[in-house]
Structures are given as C-alpha cells and as structure tokens.
Structure 1
Amino acid sequence: MIQSALLADISPIAHAFGHRQSLTPEVLCDFESARPQKQQVHGTRIVTVDQPAQACGHADGFLTDRPGIPVSIVTADCLPILFAHRSGTCIGALHAGWRGLLDGIIEAMLARIQAQPRGNLSEWLAVVGPAAGAHAYEVSETLIEQFRASLPIPAEIMSPLPRHLALGAIACHKLAAAGVGEIEHIDQCTITTLVDGSTGPLDGSDPDAYRFQSHRRHTLTHPDPEQRPRLPNQHSGLIILP
C-alpha cells in the first residue's frame, strides 16, 4: 500500500494510492458501496459529493465533508492528487493528465475549495501521487510549446528533458503558487518503477516486474491495438472515517 506521510498524520481520515498488486486499496474496498459513480473524461468538472453512491456523471475532481463517503479516482499514467483540510473534516481527489493540467483542473479544484467554509488554502494539504515520470513521459514538441505558451511556469520545470513533460512538477508548482499549505510529491514513475522500487526499462517485457499498471508501457510492449488487451486502472483516494 502506498501512502503519504502528510495524510497519515491526519487521524480522522484514511487514504492510499493503488498499484498493480492492489489496484483498489483496502481502505477504499471497505466502503465500496458508498463510492460515488462517475466517468472520468480528462475534463475540469469538479463535483461536491454529499450522499453515498452519488451519481456524478462526467467529472475528474471530487470534494466531500461527509464521513463514510470515499472520494477516489482511477489512473494509469496520469496524476492522482489527494487533498485534505488539516482538521480532516473535508477531503478531495483529482485526476489530472496533461489535458487537465493545461486546461486548469487544479485551479478549478482550488476554486471549489475556496468557495466552501474551510476555504483557506493555507490550511490544506495536497499529495501528488505516482504518475508518468519526466524521464519516461515523451511527448511531441508541439505539446511542449502549448505548455510553454499557456502556463507561467519555468520551462526547465515543465520540460527538464527535450520533448518530455514533468507532470508531477507542474502540479506541485501550481499548488505552491496558489498557496496550498503543504505539498508532498510521491515521485514514483508508473511507467518504469519496478516492484522493488528500482527503475526498469520503458518497454519492459515482464509486466509482473513493475509496480504499476501503465498504459504507456503497455502500448510500447503491445504496439498492435488489435492485439492489446485493455488494462484495469489503479484507484487512489481517501475517506473521512465514520
């Protein structure tokens, strides 16, 4: 089970980030029937969840102050970002890929947080979870230029290597610039991290040797879409304990 040192210190909540050996962490399985129903679409819609099994439709961010209702997201190589007020009385979960980072999903979540009673961002924690690492996440130069033109973030933070995006670093920069109180980055690459924590090749031929389900690595290993089975994603989330 992958956990955050920051969130582990908040006693009213339980949390975890999923991985290949445990796609849905036990702390979320225990409240499966109360999990909101949703479809992630790489958008910027944030939903406030106030009842068990709430139908949320298309959404990529979730916020609740209700005990017993887990907020979670599923990811492969995108960022899972978990939020919590220091008191443990309000929590959130966010799915952020490159589209969401470019389109402002972090800003949308922070605006929703600021609109509710515990809205002082300095009293909040944010944990950026495992995702595609900058060394492994190669994209087009056109996309890099989109990021440079759209976001007021130093180029060396966004793209420390030519044609590579640093999703986690971009998210952390956005959160810090907005004034979030404490930020933790669990910097484990979903494409190359092996079960033992070391780094493997991008196109590893033994998927069982890797810690995470990665669509990017899976695509490299199975280049023919007709022969490539769809992988399940890993869940990450948190809950205010009842």
Structure 2
Amino acid sequence: MSDYSALLSSVPGILHGFGDKEHLLPAHLQAYEATRPEKKQVHGTRIVNVIQPGQNCGEADGFITSTPGILLAVFTADCLPVIFCHKDGKEVAAIHAGWRGLIDGILEKMAERINHSGDTANWFASIGPAAGNCCYEVSQELVDDFLQRLGLPPSLISPRHRHLDLAAIARAKLHALGFAGVDQAGSCTICTEAPAGNGFKYTSFRRNSHQRAKDPTHQGIRGRNQQSGIIIL
C-alpha cells in the first residue's frame, strides 16, 4: 500500500503519493506516467522549471511546475523524496535528496526558487520514505561533515553513533526555510516489512547491496526504484 501525506491530502486539485515495492509508482498516478519529465538524477542541487509534458530536464534533482497535467516524480531507494505544494494547489514541486543533496543545499535551492515568485509561507512540504536513523550507518567523517556544515544540534543530525537522521535534518531545514507545514509519510526503506509479512515494503539500495555481497546472484534494484510523485489536475 502506497504512502500519502495527511497535509497534502487536504489540498484541493492535486494528486500525490509515495511508491513502494508493490506499486513503484502509486496506482492512482500511473495513468499520468507518460507526462513525467525525462531526467537523470545525479545527487545534485539543480532545480528545473517544468512547462510541458515529457520535458527533457537533463541532469537534475528538483522539479517545479504550475502547469496542470504534468506528473513530477523522483526515483528513490533510501534517499529522501520530498514533494511540495502551494496551499491553493496551483503549483507543485518534487526533489530527490540523498545525503549529498541534503548537505549541498537542494532544499535551500527549492526554497529560493519558490521565493522568486512567491513565498514558502504559502507552501506545504512532505518527506517520504527513506533510510531511517535506525539503519543508516555512515562514516564518522560524514557525520562530522554534517555537524560542521549545517549547524544543527548533534542529537538531531546523529541520534545514534555514526547514524544519520536524514528526515530529521530535512524537517529542521524546511521549518527554518519558512514552509507553512511539514509532515512525513512512510518509514525506513531499509528495515520496514511489508504489511502482509511478505518481505520488505520498500526498495532499498543499501539492503540490496548487503544481500548481493552475501549472494552475487541476488537480483539488483536497477529499474525497480520506487517513485514519489505529485500532479496538478
């Protein structure tokens, strides 16, 4: 079962959802898949204004549109998907934020783009399923880099030794950037089990890498990343 934001569900005139292994793209968004812009996600901070269906966006990790009928969707498999919507449902956005994009400022870039013609105080943001602090173990050097560059409380950035809390970092940034409301949908992509107890709920790059290290014949995740999307009707 795909995940939804309670905050964005209150906005009229849009559809949204966060995918999982069962429905890589939420079922109610699949009819719009052909309108999705073409892009190559590169863990960067480039934001693209999307003005037509199927637009070629090149290398980009953030997308924004006020054009109805265009599905903005990002692929993830442990990284953070974040989708955005103006309170009136007339403009939407989506970003892919791994640790690189998060530390390099993709959320700030999106806020800057929104503030060119509006105000983040009129926008909502929802963080989707991603690697949780329960499982996202990294090097101490990376934790130290986050501590030095972001200026957030150490207990927020790394609540457990050598573990990052990507979602908490994103929430803190989004609140500081002045978004009207921020919520989170879904759970840890690495350890969350499927509701029926049939394996795991989400595709996870890290879990898959560990499985392939033990068994080289284990299927990779290429082409099986979940998508998080939003569209103006």
Q: Name the TM tier (shorter chain).
A: over 0.9
Q: Which residue identity is paired with 1:233?
A: N
- Secondary structure of the 1:162 match is coil
Distance of aligned partners of 1:197 and 1:216 in 2 relative to their CA distance in 1, 3 Å threshold: farther
Q: Which residue of 2 aligns with 1:61?
A: 62
Distance in 2 between residues matched to 1:230 and 1:102, nearest whole Å: 27
* CA positional deviation for 1:230: 2.5
Map 1:37-116; keep pairs closer than 5 Å.
37-116=38-117
Please tell me whether the aligned partners of residues 212 and 220 of structure 2 are also in contact (alpha carbons under 8 angstroms): no
* CA positional deviation for 1:220: 1.4
Q: Which residue of 1 aligns with 2:180?
A: 181
- Secondary structure of the 2:230 match is strand
Q: Which residue of 2 aligns with 1:209?
A: 199
- Secondary structure of the 1:222 match is helix
- Secondary structure of the 1:138 match is coil
CA RMSD of aligned residues (A): 1.5
Q: Which residue of 2 aligns with 1:202?
A: none
Q: Which residue of 2 aligns with 1:154?
A: 153
Q: Which residue of 1 aligns with 2:164?
A: 165
Q: Which residue of 2 aligns with 1:22?
A: 23
* CA positional deviation for 1:27: 2.8
Distance in 1 between residues matched to 2:45 and 2:214, nearest whole Å: 31
Please tell me whether the aligned partners of residues 79 and 98 of structure 2 are also in contact (alpha carbons under 8 angstroms): yes
* CA positional deviation for 1:187: 5.0
Distance in 2 between residues matched to 1:137 and 1:187, nearest whole Å: 16
Regions of 4+ moved over 2 Å: 224-230
Q: Which residue of 1 aligns with 2:35?
A: 34
Q: Which residue of 2 aligns with 1:195?
A: 194
Find 2:227's aligned residue among 212, 216, 235: 235
Q: TM (normalized to structure 2)? A: 0.95
Q: Which moved more, 1:72-81 or 1:229-238?
A: 229-238
* CA positional deviation for 1:18: 0.2
- Percent identity at matched positions? 45
- Secondary structure of the 2:17 match is strand
Q: Which residue identity is paired with 2:116?
A: A
Distance in 2 between residues matched to 1:178 and 1:59, nearest whole Å: 21
* CA positional deviation for 1:226: 5.2
Distance in 2 between residues matched to 1:43 and 1:13, nearest whole Å: 27
* CA positional deviation for 1:197: 8.8
Distance of aligned partners of 1:139 and 1:26 in 2 relative to their CA distance in 1, 3 Å threshold: same
- Secondary structure of the 1:72 match is strand
Distance in 1 between residues matched to 2:62 and 2:28, nearest whole Å: 19
Q: TM (normalized to structure 1)? A: 0.92
* CA positional deviation for 1:196: 2.2
* CA positional deviation for 1:28: 2.4
Please tell me whether the aligned partners of residues 45 and 105 of structure 1 are also in contact (alpha carbons under 8 angstroms): yes
Distance in 1 between residues matched to 2:228 and 2:51, nearest whole Å: 19
Q: Which residue identity is paired with 1:123?
A: N
Gaps of 5+ in 1: 199-207
Distance of aligned partners of 1:12 and 1:151 in 2 relative to their CA distance in 1, 3 Å threshold: same
Q: Which residue of 2 aligns with 1:201?
A: none
* CA positional deviation for 1:227: 3.7
Please tell me whether the aligned partners of residues 219 and 228 of structure 1 are also in contact (alpha carbons under 8 angstroms): no
Q: Which residue identity is paired with 1:173?
A: A
Q: Which moved more, 1:167-176 or 1:226-235?
A: 226-235
